[in-house]
Structure 1
Amino acid sequence: MDARREENVNVQKMSKEEKKRLKKQIKASHTLLKHEGIHTVSMPTKSLVVANGGLGNGVRREQLLEALRQCGSPEALLTPPDKPYAFVTFQSTEEARLALVALSGSQIHTEEQVVTLYLNFVERVGSEVQTPQELPPGLTILEEFVSPDDELRLLEAIDWSSQSDGDGMQKALKHRKVKHYGYEFRYDNNNVDKEKPLSEGIPQVCDGVLERCLKENLIKVKPDQLTINQYQPGQGIPPHVDTHSPFEDTIVSLSLGSKVVMDFKHPDGRSVAVVLPGRSLLVMTGESRYLWTHGITPRKFDVVPACDSNRPGPVTSDLRDLTLNKRGMRTSFTFRKVRRRPCDCAFPSACDSQGPPQQSSGPSAPQSDSDASCLEREFVHEVYEQIAGHFSSTRHSPWPRVLDFLRSLPTWAVLADVGCGNGKYLGLRTDLFTVGCDRSRSLVDICGQRHFQALVSDALAVPLRSGVCDACLSIAVIHHFSTQERRLAAINELVRLLRPGGRALIYVWSMEQEYNKQKSKYLKEKKVKQEEGSAPGNLQNSEVSDQVHAGKADEDCGFFTEKNRSTLSVHRNRTAFHSQDLLVPWHLKGGSQQSKGVGKSSESPAGSKASESSPVFHRYYHVFCEGELENLCQKAENITVRSSYYDQGNWCVILEKKLGMIF
């Protein structure tokens, strides 16, 4: 009791600013507890959680350590990757108490922003070290493969101002600059025309690199194709496997300039983040070349080991040894040997030479806005009209975090649910002014039967005044738009509807159905519910085998694979995604009656097959890679991305419209 009385006296003595800071600390505690499962305590301990002081906020480990050492001697500092917080353990409780008082409310200037720290006591911290990662089989990284002088000579030999045939085939992609020598790599079909070599072969300045590769038995024959990529800070390349049929086994890539982290992913969900220092050589052969995707996430900072950060190899899983590295300009020289015979690799499931023959019956990936509109009309709008009743019968339980967003809105706020479906989120709070809209008239009719206010409208042109909404929902809608421009337009339409300070919650299906070693709960259940968060890999109404895998390389969103062709794929249930742009089957049990709302859900126990008489409809989806939704939102004007998270097979963001912005 004496301690509590002393605490009350201390609170009464606080200044107005100190009380404000205390309220923010409490709010930070509740936020972490709610969204991250971190339990804070009021009694002093040796350990603290530092809200806003994490790698996810752009705070480097070194900066945070410098601030903490002013209060004592930290025994351990854990900085989880991509998280907006860190954990620190001091040698004594008194040092931790001093840090809480001295640093709560203090500011750190990062490369991008100024962040305010808020500290809270915790009883204990999480695991410090996870299982060490290994490089994918067949992957080798050689440090300092060229000298600084050789690096400069190679970079100076590239004339990016010239696009003539005498200086290689140059392309300006949205995410990077590219030059091709020997043969042009075509991004429309992820292949090369072996009968049309370029007039300019691999430049002589590369001879020294290739001779060393031959001498050290890294390659067996001299390459005849070179692709040079130049990346500005923040640019990347989508996850992909270099197409099997155009090139022989071994591929070598020389990194010049800034170091970068390259992500490798196995079809079974395993992933390894690998540091590629400047002047290092990456060698891919066997499984790493044919089966694992590799890509560079578009971002300005990479999570790297704090100790010996220039060491090539997997990023350490030791949370005591992680910091941020700011990217600079990077140029890669990737050498390949054009294949003159079909690929006979040991990975036929991923091989275009050994795969099933191409089929041309599927729809083509859109090449223009007109194509996109037609694709969406046939494989989104018309499909939902056909399956509306059956679809509605599977939509009843609200998602907890969507419900949290709705609960956070003030009384009598104006809410627009854009793409409301059967209106399941419109009636959850009776003290809000709610209106829904959907492209499907049949679904809007169902909303009317439930006495909800809803209207037929395209998500690209909602017939409401600008700035009239306090909040907007877009749950499982934007992934139905088939180009990046249309997806961005849908986001901008949400922003237009919001008043200054208004917020929008967006959910889209995720490419990653296993994230942070946790599978979506829908993959674990024997009976799967087809809620809007259930991504294609979870659906039980897919019994259609794969067709030809999808369309052109999507330079807008940053993804292409070795299976991307001219037609969209039909996704098979419970298999890894091989393309971001695909068709998802819907088995309509009970035939046409289901479109009128008769019958039960189409879900069946895992492994059971749908009735052969069930009509099958295919919906178009663009599934989002990690970071893609957030990056897309940042291209919208007048908004701030307040939070982003992964929720059971979905990528999600909360946007806020900037104050004073009405358009």
Structure 2
Amino acid sequence: MDVNVGSDTKAYRRSKVDKKLLRKQIKSSHTLLRHEGINTSLVPTKSLVVANGGLGNGVSREELSAVLKEMGSLKTLLMPPKKPYAFVTYGSEENARKAHIYLNGQKLQREEKEKNDVTLYLSFVDTVPCEQQTSVTMPAGLVLVEDFVSSEEEAVLLAAIDWSSHNNDATGLPEKCQPVLQRCMENGHLTTMPDQLTVNQYESGQGIPPHVDTHSAFEDTILSLSLGAKTVMEFRHPDGRVVNVFLPGRSLLVIRGESRYLWTHGITPRKFDMVPASDPQCLAPTTCDHGPLNQLTLSKRGTRTSFTFRKIRIDPCRCAFPTVCDSQGAPSPPSPPSIPRGPSDAARLEVEYVHRVYDAIAPHFSSTRHSPWPQVCHFLSLLSPGNVLADVGCGNGKYLGVNPAVISVGCDRSSALIQICTNRGFQAFVADALHVPLRTASCDACISIAVIHHFSTTERRLAAVKELVRLLKPGGHALIYVWAFEQEYKEQKSKYLKNNNPTNDTCGVTTAPEGKSSACVRSNLEDNKKKPADDCTVTHDKVGVHINRTAFNSQDLLVPWHLKEGKRGKSKGESEVARTNEDKTKFSTDSFPNGPDLRSYSNTDSQHDSLTSAEPVFHRYYHVFQQGELEQLCVQVKEIKLQRSYHDQGNWCVILEKPVN
């Protein structure tokens, strides 16, 4: 072969790659202009904008800085909070040109395995945003004391924890805590000694729901001692103000006055936090909401252990915030639903926490359900032309058009979802999965995808399987999918867990802090009927609220759905859920007049979600199935044969066959 021909081919390939890179670079420039108002320049300058190199992409300052410094000396590196880009200014235009040539289209090698690779796209800019020093005032009464305990004291306190103990009635606080509490008294952080201690341990990715400790249960001052890893705690005022406080290891947080009674506090469940960079010139190391843009980075969470000291209140609270004080007549948060004890209880729970919820969230829910699951599509592809398929619990109908050669009909309990099916041209009708108005033995195949886990008793789940079998012709097949308790199977995490974005600030709600909890320790009180700490209360007959994108801790739970603006639906026979105003901190509370407020429910002593979240939050009931449970349910139906069972992306699945004889 002619050498020149080979050389020309290689040059052509390089040119093709260069063209592709140029297209992507232009696209990123247009995106920056359209969404962020950033004008890029074709003329080289000392400054560049680095698309995909921002804190919002999970890129830390250390990762990006190391790559950029390879091209030359940096003058500034600005990383705006929660944005997918950064600005870099080099000491010379020559170094900026070099970065533009060699780093464009390059993948950034990540330090953490949890992070996805990102491809950097660099463009010149004429101007860089000025670093703005915005002052964020700490909540009144909130004090953070760094390095309050020494490393030696930290080790002693951690070693003193007995995680195996379940004794909630131990007398007195541990002796190991006395030196710390005495120092609090001497430094003026306490006026009286606490008599209650709660110890919790949080792994990376776990959090605490936004809440206010019950006024009537505890006195004013609450102390939180952070041991081990650092974290960020969010304080939110009812008017929408948010202050993110950086809690270093071995620090003491004193919560009193307005910060204790009025502001909610919580920790968002995620694996990375946006924190001040380790810069000796950092002006405000205690908060993450102010300071120049070049002082922020991402920090991976480790294991944090908290010691929370409280003083149990004897007399009613007389704080200066009566509108949120339960002792002064403020409404209490809704009570969590109980696990059903009979058919009527189960039906009521499903109406409130399944049927009404899906009607309310239908447009938003449908917008997130557009990709059919491959294994379900494979099942449908095996059906013969002219076969009759019933999709029981069809949702927005995404499986009704997978195999156009079959006669497909769907049904769902949500009239709002059925309307979406109708608008898409599918044959669907409103029906309960326990009573489908189709003739017995009229279907060649049935599918029930993510439906049966919404039934709240074993009897009702079994009835749903029997109804599918009733619809099948002899020789027909049914495919059932239910959510699995085991979200990590054969050392593989499901997409539900993998999609836990480390920089996602959407906070789920849970019944208690999602961490390991030791026994609550308190001294003896004359009033033995006094309500103990919320962290100590275990309500085994209540349905807990799950933190999104985390492993399940129980089988019966409520899963939050954060309703996005512009994706509101209408509940059948009821008023449309009111649109929020501009700051999205208020919404209608009368959309469900006959039941609990599904949007603001939380099984914690917390303020309503309308005060702690920018979006209304609904809660859907689920019974997540343990391994083997679905098979055990199906084999109770005599006229069926279990053909296959498998695990598919966090779901337990079975294929049933109705024998010909």
Is 1:557 equivalent to 2:547 in the alignment? yes
Deviation at 1:330, TM superposition (A): 1.5
1:335 to 306, 309, 312: 309
1:621 to 593, 598, 601: 598
Q: Which amino acid aligns with 2:211?
A: H
Give distance in 2, aligned partners of 1:434 and 1:130. 61
What pairs up with 1:210-229 in 2 under 5 angstroms?
Answer: 210-229=181-200
> Can you list the C-alpha shifts for 1:591-625, whole angstroms capped at 9, x where unaligned?
xxxxxxxxxx797999xxx9x9x995558635696
> Can you list the C-alpha shifts for 1:417-469, whole angstroms capped at 9, x where unaligned?
99888999x99xx9xx9997642358637854884443557899x99999x9x
Is 1:141 equivalent to 2:144 in the alignment? yes
Give distance in 2, aligned partners of 1:71 and 1:99. 6
Please give the secondary structure, in 2, of the residue aligned with 1:313: coil
Is 1:293 equivalent to 2:283 in the alignment? no
Q: Hey, what does 2:117 align to over in structure 1?
A: 115
Give distance in 1, aligned partners of 2:109 and 2:505. 34
Question: Given the superposition, is the C-alpha separation of residues 243 and 119 from structure 1 closer, same or farther in structure 2, using an over 3 Å criterion?
Answer: same
Q: Hey, what does 2:82 align to over in structure 1?
A: 82
Q: Is the 8 A contact 2:223 2:255 kept in 1?
A: yes
Question: Given the superposition, is the C-alpha separation of residues 78 and 417 from structure 1 closer, same or farther in structure 2, using an over 3 Å criterion?
Answer: farther
Is 1:346 equivalent to 2:320 in the alignment? yes
Bigger RCO (CA 8 Å, 6+ sep): 2
Q: Which amino acid aligns with 1:217?
A: G
Q: Is the 8 A contact 1:253 1:333 kept in 2?
A: yes
Deviation at 1:365, TM superposition (A): 1.7
5+ residue gaps, structure 1, are: 1-9, 170-197, 407-413, 493-501, 514-550, 560-567, 569-583, 590-600, 630-634, 638-656
Q: Is the 8 A contact 1:304 1:316 kept in 2?
A: no
Q: Hey, what does 2:522 align to over in structure 1?
A: none
Deviation at 1:141, TM superposition (A): 0.8
Question: Given the superposition, is the C-alpha separation of residues 511 and 377 from structure 1 closer, same or farther in structure 2, using an over 3 Å criterion?
Answer: farther
Give distance in 2, aligned partners of 1:341 and 1:93. 70
Question: Given the superposition, is the C-alpha separation of residues 333 and 78 from structure 1 closer, same or farther in structure 2, using an over 3 Å criterion?
Answer: same
Q: Hey, what does 2:584 align to over in structure 1?
A: none
Give distance in 2, aligned partners of 1:355 and 1:558. 33
Tell me how large the CA RMSD over aligned residues is: 6.2
Give distance in 1, aligned partners of 2:595 and 2:335. 11
Q: Is the 8 A contact 1:264 1:272 kept in 2?
A: yes
Q: Hey, what does 2:59 align to over in structure 1?
A: 59
Give distance in 2, aligned partners of 1:403 and 1:101. 39
1:163 to 165, 168, 172: 165
Give distance in 1, aligned partners of 2:456 and 2:131. 42
Is 1:379 equivalent to 2:352 in the alignment? yes
Q: Hey, what does 2:529 align to over in structure 1?
A: none
Please give the secondary structure, in 1, of the residue aligned with 2:206: coil
Q: Hey, what does 1:594 align to over in structure 2?
A: none
1:314 to 287, 295, 304: 287
Q: Is the 8 A contact 2:352 2:598 kept in 1?
A: no
| Range that drifts further, 12-21 or 286-295 | 12-21
Q: Which amino acid aligns with 1:110?
A: E
Question: Given the superposition, is the C-alpha separation of residues 251 and 29 from structure 1 closer, same or farther in structure 2, using an over 3 Å criterion?
Answer: same
Deviation at 1:203, TM superposition (A): 0.4
Question: Given the superposition, is the C-alpha separation of residues 322 and 604 from structure 1 closer, same or farther in structure 2, using an over 3 Å criterion?
Answer: closer
What pairs up with 1:247-258 in 2 under 5 angstroms?
Answer: 247-258=218-229
Q: Which amino acid aligns with 2:236?
A: K
Q: Hey, what does 2:273 align to over in structure 1?
A: 302
Q: TM-score, normalised by structure 2?
A: 0.58
Please give the secondary structure, in 2, of the residue aligned with 1:288: helix
Please give the secondary structure, in 2, of the residue aligned with 1:109: coil
What pairs up with 1:315-464 in 2 under 5 angstroms?
Answer: 315-317=288-290, 318-356=292-330, 365-367=337-339, 374-379=347-352, 438-440=412-414, 444=418, 448=422, 451-454=425-428, 456=430
Give distance in 1, aligned partners of 2:88 and 2:429. 52
Deviation at 1:354, TM superposition (A): 1.0
Question: Given the superposition, is the C-alpha separation of residues 120 and 418 from structure 1 closer, same or farther in structure 2, using an over 3 Å criterion?
Answer: farther
Percent identity, aligned pairs only, is: 47
Give distance in 1, aligned partners of 2:150 and 2:544. 35
Please give the secondary structure, in 2, of the residue aligned with 1:339: coil
Please give the secondary structure, in 1, of the residue aligned with 2:209: strand
Equivalent residue pairs, number? 494
Q: Hey, what does 2:244 align to over in structure 1?
A: 273
Deviation at 1:277, TM superposition (A): 1.2
Deviation at 1:323, TM superposition (A): 0.9
Question: Given the superposition, is the C-alpha separation of residues 380 and 41 from structure 1 closer, same or farther in structure 2, using an over 3 Å criterion?
Answer: farther
Give distance in 2, aligned partners of 1:114 and 1:25. 20
Q: Which amino acid aligns with 1:151?
A: E
Please give the secondary structure, in 2, of the residue aligned with 1:621: coil
Give distance in 2, aligned partners of 1:443 and 1:617. 22
> Can you list the C-alpha shifts for 1:34-54, whole angstroms capped at 9, x where unaligned?
666655555544433323322
Q: Is the 8 A contact 2:336 2:543 kept in 1?
A: no
> Can you list the C-alpha shifts for 1:519-560, whole angstroms capped at 9, x where unaligned?
xxxxxxxxxxxxxxxxxxxxxxxxxxxxxxxx969452289x
Q: Which amino acid aligns with 2:337?
A: A
Give distance in 2, aligned partners of 1:259 and 1:310. 19
Q: Which amino acid aligns with 1:66?
A: A
Deviation at 1:403, TM superposition (A): 11
What pairs up with 1:565-576 in 2 under 5 angstroms?
Answer: none
> Can you list the C-alpha shifts for 1:147-201, whole angstroms capped at 9, x where unaligned?
22111111111122x3153xxx3xxxxxxxxxxxxxxxxxxxxxxxxxxxx1332
Please give the secondary structure, in 2, of the residue aligned with 1:289: helix
Question: Given the superposition, is the C-alpha separation of residues 446 and 69 from structure 1 closer, same or farther in structure 2, using an over 3 Å criterion?
Answer: closer
Question: Given the superposition, is the C-alpha separation of residues 90 and 384 from structure 1 closer, same or farther in structure 2, using an over 3 Å criterion?
Answer: closer
Give distance in 1, aligned partners of 2:423 and 2:336. 37
Q: Which amino acid aligns with 1:157?
A: A
Q: Is the 8 A contact 1:57 1:115 kept in 2?
A: no
The structure whose Rg is larger is 2
Q: Hey, what does 2:50 align to over in structure 1?
A: 50
Q: Is the 8 A contact 2:322 2:329 kept in 1?
A: yes
Question: Given the superposition, is the C-alpha separation of residues 320 and 98 from structure 1 closer, same or farther in structure 2, using an over 3 Å criterion?
Answer: same
Question: Given the superposition, is the C-alpha separation of residues 64 and 369 from structure 1 closer, same or farther in structure 2, using an over 3 Å criterion?
Answer: farther
Give distance in 2, aligned partners of 1:214 and 1:258. 26
Question: Given the superposition, is the C-alpha separation of residues 141 and 15 from structure 1 closer, same or farther in structure 2, using an over 3 Å criterion?
Answer: same
Question: Given the superposition, is the C-alpha separation of residues 603 and 227 from structure 1 closer, same or farther in structure 2, using an over 3 Å criterion?
Answer: closer
Q: Is the 8 A contact 1:40 1:122 kept in 2?
A: yes
Please give the secondary structure, in 2, of the residue aligned with 1:218: coil
Q: Which amino acid aligns with 1:440?
A: S
Q: TM-score, normalised by structure 1?
A: 0.58
> Can you list the C-alpha shifts for 1:358-395, whole angstroms capped at 9, x where unaligned?
79xx885243698995345322666599xx8xx9xx99
Give distance in 1, aligned partners of 2:285 and 2:32. 34
